[in-house]
Amino acid sequence: MERNKMEEEEVAFDEMASVQRLHELKLIAPDMTEQGIFSEERIKNHVARGAGITLLYAPERVDETILGELETLAKEAGVLSKMQRMQSGEVMNCIKGHQSENRAVLHTAVRDFFGEENNSGPAKEAAAMAKIECDKLKQFLSSIGDEFSELFMIGIGGSDLGPSAIYYALEHLLIKGRKVHFINNIDPDSLALAVKGADLKRSLAVVVSKSGSTIETKTNEEFLRSKFKAAGLDPGRHFIAVTGEGSEMDDARRYLKVFYIWDWIGGRYSSTSMVGGVLLGFALGFDTFWEFLKGAHAMDQVALREDIRSNLPLMGALLSVWNRNFLGMATLAIIPYAQGMSRFPAHIQQLSMESNGKHIDRRGNTVSHRTGMVIWGEPGTNAQHSFFQLIHQGTDTIPLEFIGFKESRFGDDYTFEKTTSQEKLIANLIAQAIALAIGQKSNNPNREFLGNRPSHLLIAKRQDPFTIGALLAYFEHKVAFEGFIWNINSFDQEGVQLGKVLANKVLNRMPSMKSASDPFPVADAFIKHFGDV
């Protein structure tokens, strides 16, 4: 008899038999510095492909026995069933027995237009709603033609990090004559710099807030509106809202156009909705945005594959859990060998750490195992001349997730000393993975590299919209699979709320230290020191 849904959700990580066996196997994990272990045969046998992306994980400290037990772990945790249920629209954002958001998680529905659509009621309804917004966007972009040449994107967190990461990855496809300015910080210098030199008469401003009440976004919106008014312009003819239906921003009198998002899409999972769509459609063209959605949908299908070895995001999650919970590694460096991917690590940092930075399980009980890793990174090869010294010879082992492309974005390359710049870039990526794994023996201890430091590679042919969409969805599903395995809720972010509440209390004390109804002496002490500067 199949395990019912409730039982599936209640499998505690440390209670699974596979977890106990993996703790035993970690003691005999392969040593990648051993002669002959890092072979051509190993590389051929440790590969997964899907949606135009190849995952090479031969440099990871796994063998067939460990991989088999990791597969058992995935089955014990019921992760494929949970992924199917998530994509079907069941309530997955919840903590049983405690007040929580209690929502479906349906970011996959906003790109479910390309065949093999999910036919469950909630998913089908969500996809229909999302398609309406896509059609609205296509019509809107057609209606404005070349009337506008610049766009300000006002958002914070998931309303900025994902869309900006994707924009920079595809910036080579920017429509001629168009510019984009990101305003993502309450720091007034951020807005002042963005506005400097902009042609406001030919500018749009996209304001993203699901609730319509995010204080940083509201402040920046009003600040920017004041700039338009000072230039003698009507902000209502230039500002676009991306918000929840019925929010205070859902107001056709204040906005040229209003696009909708829904509570079943978390901010960090919202890049394929209108949160990213308006920006990407304006800057790169609707067809580019559509191809990007197609790539994300293709990876959604890969995430449902029952063959675990060909399920890229699940394999990525299992390697992450292996490194985190069994080999004791606390951080993961994401290193894209592509300058256009410079903001991708920042987006994955939020996606992962906001999702899986949890210390309670789905019943509200304190977990007895480690959960999310610290995510960080910068583009190679610059990173090699920055922090790779610590990665190669430091006292902590830091696993890496490399991203690389066979071709450059612009196709403009140069041959020097018999190889092109792109070939040199790829050579560096490959060399780093090998060097970290095998290390180097030396009679000079200063030149000894211990090796045995794991990594895996995500490689694709080129940085096109389809591939970037697939990469985005890979990381979204990898994070979700990690949460399913750890039995935590990867879809809320209560840890963000306390700081917001306290910030509002501090703000109440700011105007010249006036009396407030909610005395906050600790804040007063800090404010006094700012006043003394």
pLDDT in tens, 489-524: 999 988 877 777 777 777 777 665 555 556 667 777
pLDDT value at residue 496: 77
What is the predicted pLDDT for the residue at 5? 52
pLDDT at 6 over 60: no
Q: Which of 354, 356, 400, 320 is nearest to 73 (CA)?
A: 320
Q: What is the pLDDT of residue 132?
A: 98
Instruction: Give the rounded percent of residues in the chain with a pLDDT score beyond 90.
Output: 88
pLDDT at 422 over 60: yes
Q: Phi, psi at residue 366, to the nearest 5°?
A: -65, 130
Res. 268: pLDDT tops 50: yes
Task: Specify the pLDDT at position 214.
Answer: 84
Beta strand residue intervals within 304-461, DSSP E: 331-337, 374-376, 400-405, 415-416, 419-420, 455-460
Average pLDDT over residues 40-49: 95
Residue 401's SS3 state is strand
Q: Which of 229, 359, 500, 528 is catalytic?
A: 500
Q: What percent of the chain has pLDDT over 70?
A: 94
418 is catalytic: no
Please give the Cα distance from 83 to 307 (Å, whole number): 14
Query: Can 354 be counted among the known catalytic residues?
Result: yes
What tens digit of pLDDT does each residue of 122-133 get? 999 999 999 999
What are 160-212's pLDDT values in tens digits?
Answer: 999 999 999 999 999 999 999 999 989 999 999 999 999 999 999 999 999 88
**Runs of H (alpha helix) within 145-273:** 161-169, 188-195, 215-230
Distance CA 429, CA 7 (A): 44
Q: 295-310 burial by CB neighbour count: b if 16+ within 10 A, else e?
A: bbbbbbbbbbbeebee
Mean pLDDT of 460-469: 97
- Choosing from 216, 354, 401, 482, the catalytic residue is 354
Of 196, 385, 514, 529, which residue is the catalytic one?
Answer: 385
In angstroms, the CA 131 to CA 113 distance is 8
Average pLDDT over residues 58-66: 97
- Residue (of 103, 133, 33) closest to 436 by Cα position: 33
Please identify which residue in the block is written with the tokens 């306390």. 498
Span 256-275, average pLDDT = 97
